[in-house]
Structure 1
Amino acid sequence: MPREAPYLEVADSLRARILRGEWEVGFRLPSRAQLAEEYGVGRNVTQRAMDRLIIEGLLEGRAGSGTYVRKPRERMRMVRSRHRERRGGSPFRADMKERGQAGTWDAHSQARFPAPDSIAERLAINPGDPCVTTRYEFLADGRPVQLSESWEPMAITDGTPIVLPEMGPLAGTGVVDRMHSIGVEVETAVEVPRPARATQAQANLLGISVGDLVLEIERTYYDCDGRPVETADIVVPDVRWEVAYEFGVDRA
């Protein structure tokens, strides 16, 4: 098996020392030069290792002072489950209510937006077909916690009261309820989670640092005939959420 890059090996060792309590919260780590000598590597290697642990949230750099062990961040658990879509109303608002927090969001929709190639493929439509795209910033007690960009084919919703997700009689409800109101029964949701690093735009909206870990979830809803009716890219900051998937087990 090939060896890990030297900075990853150093990062693994530093992480282990922090997690087993050798260095407590608030402890100032030895300098890059001292760690480089201890591990027999160059200073650039120890810098990359420390940068990685800063991104992971285990360390924090203080200008002109050094690098310190960081207080563990509180993370909420987001459960992705088929039961989540059976509550009625907004699944996000219900999730936040269970935690005693107020779930709100800001949204901006644009109608008749031509579907890019990647979105058209996910929605089984032609590139350039008109869609409604909506960008969401989700907040818990006013604090940004999640982003989403949703796409719906106008061939399904055009001329109906739900063409704009955040306007009309069902504003603020989930995709399942909205589609049901126009006779489209959502039967399946498929999610593809992928780890990523926060872009500048995502970091600005979420109040995190560029390069912080995020989980990008590509979600697509399908109706009873297997037709995609909505697809979205959800961005979850790792520093605030851990994502768990719940699914039933069929008995023999």
Structure 2
Amino acid sequence: MRPITKRKYEIIADDLRARIIDGRLPPGARFPTLAEIQEDYAVAEGTAFRAAKLLFDEGLTDTRPGAATRVRGRPEVIRLVRAWYLDPPSGSPWHAEMAAQGRVGAFEAHSETATAPPAIAERLAIATGDSVVRTAYKYTADAKPTFIATSWEPLGLTGTSAAQTPEGGPFGGWGIIRRLAEVGITVSRAVEEIVPRTLTGPEADILGLRAGIAIIVIERTHFAGDKPVETADMVVPPPYRPRYEIPVEMVEDAEEMGVE
């Protein structure tokens, strides 16, 4: 395999990023100026600028007119799983979770009928091209974009009931578990896979970030027994990160059943 050759500005950004991560450049510290980067790494101004901009685009630094560039605070924690093992709230799980953290949560959603691409069809155990309800989300906390998500459900899952779309009708915003329970479908488990990739152009436009930065995607699928009933991609960019909280009782139950 041919070795990957990094550009000089990427190598500089790697070094500066490591200094931020390990605390040598702590939150609030003054970030090196372009002149200092040029001198420290013996590079031209353009190279120094590209290295500094890369870290700014990743959300690691903060630049304001007339002030020194500073290292941003530690990444905020976004909890995504509390509602999965607690009794679901009567309203939107996202609103309830943000309220529990002392923040104002909101989201925008748009649903439409679409055809399932191969990867989504495989996750839903349906045929490629089958009809699905596709819902695109943009989640905010205190009016700032946090992450985006896209959900797919088989079109015929809920028939023509009021629960056909995730955010429409009397059950809109209830979350997948409560909404499907209203039409007699019991969601029994959820499976997640963490997939690293880079941010696409359209995603970057929504989140106000630069395309190509490293992100994680949480591929989540809900099941009723062995049947997939919904799958979703949650795109989580820096500086946010998912946090999983698992009650000890769940771990003990799994150990008793021989689950590792």
What TM-score does the superposition give when structure 2 sets the normalisation length? 0.77
User: After alignment, is 154-163 or 7-16 more displaced?
Assistant: 7-16
Q: Residue in 1 aligned with 2:136? A: 135
Alpha-carbon spacing, 1:69–1:173, altered in 2? closer, same or farther (3 Å) = same
Paired-residue identity, %:
35
Aligned positions of 1:72-91 closer than 5 A = 72=73, 75-81=76-82, 83=84, 86-88=87-89, 89-91=91-93
Amino acid at match of 2:234: I
Amino acid at match of 2:94: F
How big is the shift at 1:184? 0.7
How big is the shift at 1:94? 1.4
CA distance in 2, matches of 1:138, 1:15: 27
Amino acid at match of 1:108: H
Unmatched 5+ stretches in structure 2: none
Q: Residue in 2 aligned with 1:230? A: 230
Aligned positions of 1:87-236 closer than 5 A = 87-88=88-89, 89-111=91-113, 113-224=114-225, 226-236=226-236
CA distance in 2, matches of 1:36, 1:25: 18
Partner of 1:118, secondary structure, is: helix
1:20 counterpart = 2:36: no
What TM-score does the superposition give when structure 1 sets the normalisation length? 0.79
How big is the shift at 1:151? 0.7
CA distance in 2, matches of 1:71, 1:215: 20
CA distance in 1, matches of 2:85, 2:207: 24
How big is the shift at 1:166? 1.7
Whether contact under 8 Å (2:35, 2:45) holds in the other structure is: no
Q: Residue in 2 aligned with 1:58? A: 60
Partner of 2:94, secondary structure, is: helix
Whether contact under 8 Å (1:123, 1:228) holds in the other structure is: yes
Q: Residue in 2 aligned with 1:35? A: 40
Structure with bigger strand share is 1
User: After alignment, is 162-171 or 26-35 more displaced?
Assistant: 26-35
Amino acid at match of 1:207: G
Whether contact under 8 Å (2:133, 2:154) holds in the other structure is: yes
Q: Deviations over 1:193-225 (max 9, x none)?
A: 22233222112212223334432111110002x
RMSD, aligned CA: 3.3
Amino acid at match of 1:183: G
How big is the shift at 1:29? 4.8
Whether contact under 8 Å (1:6, 1:45) holds in the other structure is: no
Unmatched 5+ stretches in structure 1: none
Whether contact under 8 Å (1:55, 1:213) holds in the other structure is: no
Partner of 2:102, secondary structure, is: coil
Whether contact under 8 Å (2:34, 2:48) holds in the other structure is: no
Alpha-carbon spacing, 1:202–1:84, altered in 2? closer, same or farther (3 Å) = farther
Q: Residue in 2 aligned with 1:246? A: 245
User: After alignment, is 165-174 or 27-36 more displaced?
Assistant: 27-36
Whether contact under 8 Å (1:25, 1:71) holds in the other structure is: no
Give aligned pairs, total.
244
CA distance in 1, matches of 2:133, 2:236: 22
Q: Deviations over 1:19-49 (max 9, x none)?
A: 3249932542545542333xxx898876765
CA distance in 1, matches of 2:208, 2:15: 29
CA distance in 2, matches of 1:73, 1:204: 24
